[in-house]
Amino acid sequence: MSPIVKRIHSDQELPAKADVVVIGGGIIGATAAFFLAERGLSVALVEKGHVGGEQSSRNWGWCRRQNRDARELPLSGIALQAWDEFAAKIGEDVGFRRCGLLYATDNPQQLAEWEAWRELARPFDVNTKMLSAKEAAAAIPAKGRQWLGGVHSIDDGKGEPAIAAPTIANGARKFGATIHQECAARGLELVNGAVAGVITEKGLIRTQAVLCAGGAWTSMFCRQYGVLFPQASVRQTALRTRPTANLGEAIYTPECALTRRLDGSYTLAISGRAMLDITPQGIRYARWFMPMFLMRLKAVQIGIGGSFFHGPEAFARWNSDTTSPFERMRVLDPAPSRRTMAAILKGVTKQFPALKGIEIADSWGAYVDCTPDAVPVISPADVKGLYIAAGGSGHGFGLGPGIGRLAADLVANDTPCVDPSPFRLSRFVDGSKVKVGGI
Ligand SMILES: Cc1cc2nc3c(=O)[nH]c(=O)nc-3n(C[C@H](O)[C@H](O)[C@H](O)COP(=O)(O)OP(=O)(O)OC[C@H]3O[C@@H](n4cnc5c(N)ncnc54)[C@H](O)[C@@H]3O)c2cc1C
């Protein structure tokens, strides 16, 4: 079942032309549309379902620099600053709060990894503090646990997935962007190998610049034009409680993660626990994902199901005159795993007795789109005028405004806000070693 997400209206008329067409109304597409429109370009955002309907409303909302790969640290600073500024620029709360994030563990190896990460992050001016066993116990008083230590990432925060992408897309509209929902992009019109338009189910928009920010569907869309984007999705599960006792804003323990929402409810989940469905796309890109798969073997369950035949990783053929796979599945809404739900509730109620008997308002599944190195792709593709911004790899919500900002810089041919080379698509084919990033 889909989680609650704010609904925004669509613009009636599809524009005949635009400086830029953004495909996909998740956090990346919405923020890219915002930054492009803010600098005076005409922008049309097309979304096959409703804005924020897929990953961007299904996540925990953690917006962090903590535990990020060094390649992402400069961009994560840009992202947090953008989160800070949206409310004033848009005139509406997007739900972001700099509440700090708390982590505790009794696993010595995990604690050592957090400690080592601080060294890596030192040149990037990240405000984070290691917690002693006593400090961790005071910060996260979990029943029956003796923490070895923890981390307080002081300047990090959390956003509100139920409202962020729709509110930011509406903000883009204030700068002149148009928003078109239930309007799938079926393909591109190419002239002499360069983008000349986007063919949507509602008609053609002429443009010379397209940003594909289609989340889990990006690889399938781009493959039509011979663009190879190794992408794989894993299925995760989360729950939402009804408003309840306040245990803290954002808490990580090895058995559960709790994130308090603005209405006093909690999003509950387990970090890293995922299902990997075998799919035609998964088989196609298996060799790129082998290093990550081997690293995360213990946390991943393998399965086979409907996603082999339907959805972003299925085998599909279509042409621009007929219904595309994007229209056949307006919202990617996999079932939550009952086993994971039970494990989450067990972990939460055992450690936090105040939540015993907690009422669950909602539960959902979601596909997390990943790249082989867990670093997003923000890059031109090998088709003139086509750009890609996708592959959030389970941490693209917090980084989303940074990804959107860098994508806008590249599309508009402005000076990039950070060095874009770590995010180039060609790293997967130019002989570079795949180094799986982050913790
Ligand atoms: C359970 C869970 C917990 C997570 N926790 C966190 C967290 O705490 N912090 C964090 O930073 N990240 C987290 N993430 C990851 C984060 O949610 C994603 O990385 C991020 O939301 C990806 O945003 P996106 O815009 O790329 O994709 P999406 O939000 O999936 O948006 C893509 C959009 O493109 C549309 N689309 C696709 N193809 C087409 C087409 N052809 N035409 C028109 N529209 C199209 C889709 O309908 C969709 O709405 C979590 C994810 C999950 C599932």
pLDDT tens column, 264-278: 999 999 998 889 999
Q: Which atom of ligand 1 is nearest to the CA of 399?
A: 11
CB–CB of 150/136 below 8 Å? Answer: yes
How much is the pLDDT for 80? Answer: 98
User: What is the pLDDT, as a whole number, of residue 362?
Assistant: 96
The finding on whether 166 has its CB within 6 A of some atom of ligand 1 is: no
Q: Which residues does 382 contact at the CB level (< 8 Å), separation at least 6?
A: 226, 227
State whether the beta carbon of 101 lies less than 6 angstroms from ligand 1: no
Centroid of ligand 1 to alpha carbon of 54 (angstroms): 5
Q: Is 412 helix (H, G, I), strand (E, B) or coil?
A: coil
Using a 6 Å cutoff on CB, does residue 56 contact ligand 1? Answer: yes
pLDDT the model gives residue 297: 74
3-class DSSP assignment, residue 167: helix
Which residues of the chain have a pLDDT value below 70? none
No. of H helices and E strands in the chain? 12, 21
Q: How far out from the chain centre does Cα 20 lie?
A: 22
Strand partners, 204: 199
B/e letters for 4-38, b = 16+ CB within 10 Å, e = fewer, are ebbebebeeebbeebbbbbbbbbbbbbbbbbbbbb
Query: What is the homologous superfamily of the domain 20-100+155-428 according to CATH?
Result: FAD/NAD(P)-binding domain (3.50.50.60)
Q: Residue 291 has what pLDDT?
A: 87
pLDDT tens string 207-257? 999 999 999 999 999 999 999 999 999 999 999 999 999 999 999 999 999
Element (H, E) at 201: none
Distance from the alpha carbon of residue 301 to the mean position of ligand 1, in angstroms: 21
State the Cα–Cα distance between residues 202 and 186, nearest whole angstrom: 10
pLDDT score of 293: 83
CB-hemisphere CA count at 13 Å for 193? 6
